[in-house]
Structure 1
Amino acid sequence: MTIVADTNKNYLLLLARRFPFNHGEVAAESYLESEIGLLSTYFDEVLAVGTEAPLGDKPTCALPDNVKPLALGCGDYFKDKLKLAARGIAFPLSGGKIIREAYASETIRGIGKCAFRGYFAARGKTKADVLGEKLRCLGYKPTHIYSFWFYDTALVAAWLTDSYPCARAVARAHGYDLYANRTHVHYLPFRRYLLSKLSRVLPCSKDGENYINSNWPGYESKVATSYLGTRELPDKSDEPTVSPLRIVSCSRIVDVKRVPLLAKAISLLDGIGLRVEWIHYGDGPQLEEAKCACKALKYSTAYFAGSLPNNEILEEYATKHFDLFVNVSTSEGLPLSIMEACGCGIPVIATDVGGTHEIVADGVNGFLLPGDCTPDDVAAAIRHFALLGADKVACMRHAARTVWENRFRLDASVEGLAQALGVSAGCKGHI
């Protein structure tokens, strides 16, 4: 694949972890499968880089004709974590100008933070070096750079603006890449440096925007909430509640998502005779723990559907009836899974963490729980919903659909991203 740059055209460089080679390793990047169809219309060429996708991998989704996939092969980080950390710690002396610039932007203390910063910088430098060589070989000169994460790919985007000074670089910000308390050392490297170098930073919630502005003031003009959105979804808000109550959840089964806690809540409801049919979409290391919590179910059922491509999950929502969506995470940005549920008119019970309250209004289209809720708290909220009258449930279903229609449609999301990138519809060939 060789791309010859035309100085009269717009070239987007899209940086992700796995997209468009995502086999479910990075669930959030399923959003890009929908976004790319609209985003590509604003550009003459798009180079979509899965920075951690294995070399030789094949795309897992259909791509528009003007989008070229590139697997960078920089994914074996955990194996070399100590080596990368050691390399990065030496960067203030051994690194080039742009690396020393990044390090000079902040002062930190503590072995853990220094090691994490070294790992982070070396991880970014590895990607930047490999990508820089690929771009030269392809003859691809980006005019715009879009990092899906405010993490190491954002660092790559910032560094690339030195090699391609005409390029406008933006980064989205979600959860683990935004909130420092999501890391084991409660620290994320180079925040001020990234904010100074990038053209815009787009947190996916107002909570995220406020978090950035309060912790790194002075860059407010560069920071703006940009909600993600979903493609058109079937309106199922008129469907009545059924018995048994049908509950759906969707996430990786990892510690932060607390799927075993939800499983325990289902077991508690079963213990008081409330019949529930629960289906969970997603996989992960805590799957067996969640299954064990459901072993003694007498009146209810629990089905773990595993990891499915996003389009298949949405097809499940379209063809099956669900009464309630539940999310009990300890930390979130603003979950795409909740947007998808609301888009189908499904009320939501969720923990009030991150930007979740920006889509779930307590008592309107669902119920909010404290971030440290227990299985009893979750069970009580589900039981409360189950006992609501048909009229109240119908209002909640319509309210869920309405909040999606007003805030979380894909076309509005992509239009906002395009504006941040400095392009508009029909601007192909006009930089």
Structure 2
Amino acid sequence: MAIVAGDKKARLLLLARRFPFNHGEVAAESYLENEIGILSTSFDEVLAVGTEAPSGDVPTCALPGNVKPLALGCGNSSKDKVLLAAKGALLPLSSGKGVREAYASESVRGIGKRAFRGYFAARAKAKADALAEELPRLGFDPTHIYSFWLYDTALVAAWLTDAYPCARAVARAHGYDLYSDRTHVHYLPFRGYLLSKLAWVLPCSKDGEEYINANWPGHEGKVTTSYLGTREMPDKSGEPMGRPLRVVSCSRVVDVKRVPLLAKAITLLDAEGLCVEWTHYGDGPQLEEARAACSSLTRSTARFAGALQNDALLGEYAANHFDLFVNVSTSEGLPLSIMEACGCGIPVVATDVGGTHEIVADGTNGFLLPSGCGPEDVAAAIRRFASLGEAEGACMRRAARAAWEKGFRLEANVEGLVRSLGVDGRNEGE
């Protein structure tokens, strides 16, 4: 049993968008399906809140016995955004100390940025108000709060530390919630306020840590890289390279992931006479575009396997042989999909964006491409891999597995999160 100061039960409030009610709406939160089993052992009770999951929803994954799910029902449609922005503009006049402090912490110019801040704050306030009703009803007094995102749920966590002064709050940071240039107004609200209120901010890459420290200096003592990780994967690094070349990719089929670009690269290789069997896991609005780009394949094949639950996806990796994993996103944090591939001993071709270079070492366990690469560049990197000798290919497979073993084991990395939460007394009072 986990005990904190004063022999009080350790109760963790976990704030996510959809987990544990994630039907694929938030792909990155599939990570929590694996983390929760380890994280929950450090607490007596855990309340896992899908803040945007519809009320009454049913969990989509198995949960440990001490984890209670809560679907908060605070999702919003695109129609709600204008209303939320308007509400947010009035919040400093009608809300409590925490909201006023957040607004007073920064000066924002520009109608677009002000509207986005209002939307952001109102969205957080709706979630905070809903939790203010649910936590007493459930008799759940959190001693620790963990926001999976450095976004509106992190603001909720910051405000809750005023209502629950014993609570220690931390937030992870990934991509859209971290890099300001990924928003339509190149701005993320309340960064300084969040950094001052949270006990730790945990970017999932060193690139993210450096970005925070460069843009919001003065908080370096509470910003530290906390890699995500994957559970033990089948080590397939000893498998020889196959013919035809089996390429795999895994992502939502949306603009930032550029799956149609990869499809065009496969078509170029096919036209050159290289036989490729490409499998893509995931779906999205650009799926038909990607499928159409492969309609002229003659020697090669393209299989679009659709979106799978994480357990099913990892089962696919275990049951099938893949020679190369490819990711051509224009932006990333540090992709779980690459960690999973490396865990199986699959080399990687990827764009050098975000923290990708922290797991893919160019020429060692894969090849890195510039973010602005085109189909010809991707095709050239795949061709380069296909031309490796047997010994070189085997070396890359072993190096892929070694990169995972060194930095991306789930159990070891969750231990780091637990230390940041201070459950065992370490870091308390900092």
TM-score class normalised by the smaller sequence: over 0.9
Q: Which has the higher contact order (CA 8 A, sep 6+)?
A: 1
Tell me the residue number matched to 2:18: 18
Q: Match for residue 282 of structure 1?
A: 282
Asked if 1:310 corresponds to 2:310, the answer is yes
Question: Counterpart in 1 of 2:369?
Answer: 369
Which residue of the partner structure matches residue 213 of structure 1?
Answer: 213
Question: C-alpha distance in 2, partners of 1:176/1:7?
Answer: 39
Percent identity over the alignment is 76
Q: 1:400 Cα shift?
A: 0.3
Does residue 337 of the first structure (1) align with residue 322 of the second (2)?
A: no
Q: Say whether residues 1:162 and 2:147 are aligned partners.
A: no
Structure 1 residues 19-418: aligned runs within 5 Å: 19-418=19-418
Alpha-carbon contact 1:145-1:170 (below 8 Å) kept? yes
Q: CA deviation at 1:270?
A: 0.8
User: Any idea what SS the aligned residue of 2:69 has?
Assistant: strand
SS in 2 for 1:90: helix
Once the 2 structures are TM-superposed, how far is the Cα of residue 89 of structure 1 from its aligned partner?
1.4
- Counterpart of 1:349 in structure 2: which amino acid? V
**1:80 counterpart SS class:** helix
- Secondary structure at 2:116 match in 1: helix
**What displacement does 1:90 show?**
1.7
Q: CA deviation at 1:357?
A: 0.2
TM-score of the superposed pair, with normalisation by structure 2: 0.97
**Using the alignment, how far apart are the partners of 2:155 and 2:7 within structure 1?**
25
Once the two structures are TM-superposed, the CA of residue 342 in structure 1 deviates from its matched residue by: 0.1
| Secondary structure of residue in 2 paired with 1:313 | helix
Shift of 1:187: 0.5
Secondary structure in 1 aligned to 2:113?
A: helix
Distance 2:93 2:134 in 1: 27
> In structure 2, what residue type is equivalent to 1:10?
A
- Give the CA deviation at 1:7: 6.9
Kept after mapping to 2: 8 A contact 1:240/1:390: yes
- The amino acid across from 1:46 in the alignment is V
Offset from partner CA, 1:404-426 (integer Å, 9 cap, x none): 0010000111100000000149x
Q: Give per-residue Cα distances to partners, 1:72-126, cap 9 Å, x unaligned.
A: 0111242311000011012232332211110111111111100000000000000
Taking the aligned partners of 1:7 and 1:399, their CA distance within structure 2 comes to 46
Q: 3-state DSSP class of the match of 2:128?
A: helix
Matched residues in 2 for 1:334 and 1:383: separation?
Answer: 25
Aligned with 1:231: secondary structure? coil
1:377 and 1:99 map into 2 onto residues whose CA distance is 48
Q: What is the CA-CA distance between 1:185 and the residue it aligns to?
A: 0.5
Contact in 2 for aligned 1:22/1:29 (Cα 8 Å): yes
1:367-408 Cα distance to aligned partner (Å, 9 max, x none): 000000000000010001001101001000000000100100
Question: What is aligned with 1:3?
Answer: none
**CA distance in 1: counterparts of 2:7 and 2:261, whole angstroms:** 55
Structure 2 gap segments, 5+ residues each = 1-5
Aligned match of 2:3: none
Q: CA deviation at 1:331?
A: 0.4
SS of the aligned residue for 1:303 comes to strand
C-alpha contact (below 8 Å) 1:266/1:379 kept by paired residues: yes
For the residue of structure 1 that corresponds to 2:78, the secondary structure is coil
Count of aligned residue pairs for this structure pair: 421
2:86 alignment partner, SS class: helix
Query: Deviations 1:218-271 (Å, cap 9, x if unpaired)?
Result: 000000000001001000000001111000000111111111110111111111
SS of match in other structure, 2:279: strand
**Cα deviations across residues 256-305 of structure 1 (Å, max 9, x unaligned)?**
11111101111111111111000010111111111111111111111111
1:161-194: CA deviations, max 9, x gaps? 0000100000000000000011001100000000
**SS of the residue 1:79 aligns to:** helix
Output the CA distance in 2 between the equivalents of 1:137 and 1:8: 20
- The CA deviation string for residues 34-88 of structure 1, in whole angstroms up to 9 with x for no partner, is 0000000000000000001111111111100000000001112423110000110
More deviation in 251-260 or 75-84? 75-84
Distance between the aligned counterparts of 2:93 and 2:128, measured in 1? 19
Aligned residues of 1:77 and 1:123 also touching (Cα < 8 A): no
Q: Distance in 2 between matches of 1:328 and 1:141?
A: 44
Mapped to 2, the partners of 1:89 and 1:302 lie a distance apart of: 49
Q: AA paired with 2:256?
A: V
Q: Answer yes or no: is the 8 Å Cα contact 1:15–1:147 preserved in 2.
A: yes
